């Protein structure tokens, strides 16, 4: 039953603002949680969901705003403070100790004592009683590590209940569970809700949010978009609120999406049933010569996971990859590079540019890796290549000796792009190449992608900006909930149609 608005809230956050160096992580956000409701916090990565949760649980200090729990103003300094006040969190990765028993994990720090020592018999009994009350019938004396992640997650929730939590925060609890396990978890959540526990639920899975929630609060870029009852917010409205619309003057850019692609021959790369348990359900993907295939979907929908499996950065446990029609073993990025597949990661700082090297060194890195480290690329060739790409992509400053760490995000991205292009790939995978960069750099990169693909380069283009995907890609693969739900011809669909597809398609068949 959805909670009554009349019930006094258990948590009231008002005007929460948190600043990190150079970033306004939360800007004057309000959030209200009522007893006996499941309240989903929605927004894309970077929208401020985690920051809001961490503000509530005392991990981050707030710069301004107030937090009241059960009508009383509180300031939490540590996770332990928040626990005292009845706010417990179950994190995405199970935060228990795998080396201890189930019962011990439930009771750790709260074991009954007798005569100066822990009374183990009473501890196990107490643990069993708590487990029983949530219907978990496993041996409390078995090791936690002998159970599945799903069971471990339930144990974490039971532990929260031992602390008599009035507020239970579930941060991406279902990301590594299969469907049956999610059902078990939801059963427990409904049970807790009926006992009056307020549950804050965060998940990337839209289906699950709609299945379990009573209310939704949407954040975008650190600001509050709104709070809605679930029945008043259809899926497409939610997705539109989460993504927002960017008004940009990119519309004038050259489009490559209308170019006809010859799909009669052998695809450059074909993935068949590529998947990994708990990461991605098996998916197919084909890319033909000169084609730009877009991958659309919310963050966390499996976009990056799909290309990482294709590239060999993660090892698939199902499916196979063919390059130019021949079966190819792509088990590591090394193999992918040998097959002339290049991958530019969305995480350009951690997995991309080397900040302490110069522009020239960063660009040459990819070529050199392809050659093998022993055969040095001649200096003259290096200089020629570097000059060519600095010119072609408009890297600013146009100084090959500048340290990459001092460049803006957009220019770092261009350097990264140059590095992969210098390896002369036949397939270039770009994961969020334009995130967080200015409009000018964005336009440069889009133009280059369009130009190169018309010369025969195949590209897989992942972006959260759907306009961009529709402009560049001839075909768009749509992902949701770690599954490829379909493929669209981008000449046949407009932005609203794509949003609608991301939000609703395949609804009937997905149980």
Residues near another protein (CB under 8 A) are 79-80, 83, 89, 91, 95-101, 104, 108-109, 111, 113, 116-118, 120, 132-139, 141-143, 145-149, 151-152, 154, 159, 184, 187, 191, 194-195
* CB neighbour list of residue 350: distance below 8 Å, 6 or more residues apart: none
To the nearest whole angstrom, how small is the minimum distance from the Cβ of residue 138 to another protein? Answer: 6
To the nearest whole angstrom, how small is the minimum distance from the Cβ of residue 80 to another protein? Answer: 4
Q: What is the enclosing helix (H) or strand (E) of 124?
A: helix 120-133
To the nearest whole angstrom, how small is the minimum distance from the Cβ of residue 421 to another protein? Answer: 40
To the nearest whole angstrom, how small is the minimum distance from the Cβ of residue 191 to another protein? Answer: 6
Phi first, then psi, for residue 251 (nearest 5°) are -60, -25
> For residues 189 and 422, which CB has a smaller minimum distance to another protein in the complex?
189
To the nearest whole angstrom, how small is the minimum distance from the Cβ of residue 111 to another protein? Answer: 6
> For residues 88 and 412, which CB has a smaller minimum distance to another protein in the complex?
88
To the nearest whole angstrom, how small is the minimum distance from the Cβ of residue 317 to another protein? Answer: 13
Q: What is the DSSP string of 381-415?
A: HHHHHHHHHHHHHT-SS--TTSBGGGS-HHHHHHH
> For residues 315 and 349, which CB has a smaller minimum distance to another protein in the complex?
315
> For residues 27 and 91, which CB has a smaller minimum distance to another protein in the complex?
91
Cα dihedral sign, 92-95-101-103: negative
To the nearest whole angstrom, how small is the minimum distance from the Cβ of residue 167 to another protein? Answer: 15
> For residues 42 and 96, which CB has a smaller minimum distance to another protein in the complex?
96
CA atoms within 13 A on the CB side of 484: 22
Largest Cα separation within the chain, whole Å, is 82
> For residues 113 and 245, which CB has a smaller minimum distance to another protein in the complex?
113
* CB neighbour list of residue 172: distance below 8 Å, 6 or more residues apart: 91, 92, 202, 203, 204
> For residues 85 and 225, which CB has a smaller minimum distance to another protein in the complex?
85
> For residues 66 and 95, which CB has a smaller minimum distance to another protein in the complex?
95
To the nearest whole angstrom, how small is the minimum distance from the Cβ of residue 2 to another protein? Answer: 19
> For residues 139 and 211, which CB has a smaller minimum distance to another protein in the complex?
139
> For residues 191 and 438, which CB has a smaller minimum distance to another protein in the complex?
191
Distances (CA, A) of 351 to 213, 343, 358: 36, 10, 16
Burial class (CB in 10 A: 0-12, 13-18, 19+), 35: buried
To the nearest whole angstrom, how small is the minimum distance from the Cβ of residue 53 to another protein? Answer: 13
To the nearest whole angstrom, how small is the minimum distance from the Cβ of residue 67 to another protein? Answer: 19
Whether residue 454 contacts residue 292, with contact meaning beta carbons closer than 8 Å, is answered with: no
CA angle 319–323–326, rounded 5-degree value: 85
Phi first, then psi, for residue 75 (nearest 5°) are -130, 120
Q: What is the enclosing helix (H) or strand (E) of 217?
A: strand 215-220
> For residues 70 and 149, which CB has a smaller minimum distance to another protein in the complex?
149
> For residues 75 and 401, which CB has a smaller minimum distance to another protein in the complex?
75
To the nearest whole angstrom, how small is the minimum distance from the Cβ of residue 51 to another protein? Answer: 17
Q: What is the rounded distance in angstroms from the CA atom of residue 207 to the CA atom of residue 188?
A: 18
Q: What is the rounded distance in angstroms from the CA atom of residue 32 to the CA atom of residue 49?
A: 14
To the nearest whole angstrom, how small is the minimum distance from the Cβ of residue 117 to another protein? Answer: 3
Of residues 385, 392, 396, 333, the one with CA closest to residue 360? 385
How many C-beta atoms surround the C-beta of residue 228 within 10 A? 18
Whether residue 54 contacts residue 60, with contact meaning beta carbons closer than 8 Å, is answered with: yes
> For residues 193 and 204, which CB has a smaller minimum distance to another protein in the complex?
193
DSSP reduced 3-state for 325: coil
To the nearest whole angstrom, how small is the minimum distance from the Cβ of residue 279 to another protein? Answer: 15
* CB neighbour list of residue 227: distance below 8 Å, 6 or more residues apart: 30, 31, 32, 215, 216, 217, 218
CA angle 320–312–147, rounded 5-degree value: 85
Of residues 453, 371, 363, the one with CA closest to residue 399? 363
DSSP reduced 3-state for 218: strand
């Amino acid at each position: 039953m959805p909670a009554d608005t009349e019930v006094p809230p258990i948590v009231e956050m008002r005007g929460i603002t948190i600043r990190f160096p150079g970033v306004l992580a939360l800007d004057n956000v309000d959030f209200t949680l009522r007893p006996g409701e499941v309240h989903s916090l929605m927004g894309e990565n970077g929208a401020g969901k985690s920051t809001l949760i961490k503000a509530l649980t005392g991990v981050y200090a707030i710069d301004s705003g107030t937090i009241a729990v059960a009508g009383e103003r509180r300031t939490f300094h540590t996770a332990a403070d928040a626990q005292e006040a009845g706010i417990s969190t179950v994190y995405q990765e199970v935060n228990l100790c795998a080396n201890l028993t189930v019962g011990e994990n439930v009771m750790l720090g709260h074991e009954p004592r007798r005569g100066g020592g822990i009374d183990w018999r009473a501890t196990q009994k107490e643990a069993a009683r708590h487990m029983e009350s949530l219907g978990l019938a496993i041996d409390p004396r078995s090791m936690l590590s002998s159970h599945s992640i799903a069971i471990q997650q339930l144990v974490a929730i039971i532990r929260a209940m031992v602390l008599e939590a009035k507020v239970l925060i579930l941060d991406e609890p279902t990301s590594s569970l299969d469907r049956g396990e999610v059902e078990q978890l939801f059963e427990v959540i409904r049970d807790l809700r009926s006992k009056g526990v307020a549950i804050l639920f965060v998940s990337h899975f839209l289906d699950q949010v709609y299945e379990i929630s009573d209310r939704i609060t949407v954040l975008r870029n650190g600001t509050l978009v709104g709070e809605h009852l679930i029945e008043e917010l259809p899926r497409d409205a939610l997705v539109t609120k989460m993504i927002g619309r960017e008004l940009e003057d990119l519309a004038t850019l050259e489009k490559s999406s209308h170019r006809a692609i010859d799909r009669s021959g052998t695809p450059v790369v074909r993935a068949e049933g590529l998947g990994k348990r708990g990461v991605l359900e098996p998916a197919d993907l084909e890319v033909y010569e000169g084609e730009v295939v877009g991958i659309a979907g919310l963050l966390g929908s499996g976009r990056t996971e799909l290309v990482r499996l294709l590239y060999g950065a993660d090892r698939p446990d199902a499916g196979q990859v063919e390059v130019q029609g021949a079966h190819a073993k792509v088990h590591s990025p090394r193999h992918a590079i040998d097959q002339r597949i290049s991958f530019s990661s969305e995480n350009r700082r951690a997995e991309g540019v080397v900040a302490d090297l110069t522009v020239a060194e960063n660009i040459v890195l990819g070529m050199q890796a392809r050659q093998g480290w022993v055969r040095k690329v001649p200096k003259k060739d290096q200089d020629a290549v570097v000059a060519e790409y600095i010119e072609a992509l408009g890297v600013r400053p146009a100084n090959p000796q500048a340290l990459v760490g001092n460049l803006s995000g957009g220019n770092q991205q261009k350097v990264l792009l140059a590095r992969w292009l210098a390896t002369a790939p036949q397939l270039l995978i770009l994961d969020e190449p334009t995130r967080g960069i200015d409009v000018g750099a964005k336009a440069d990169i889009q133009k280059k992608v369009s130009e190169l693909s018309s010369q025969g380069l195949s590209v897989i283009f992942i972006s959260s900006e759907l306009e961009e995907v529709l402009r560049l890609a001839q075909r768009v693969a749509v992902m949701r909930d770690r599954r490829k739900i379909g493929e669209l011809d981008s000449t046949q669909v407009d932005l609203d149609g794509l949003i609608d597809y991301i939000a609703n398609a395949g609804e009937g068949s997905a149980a």
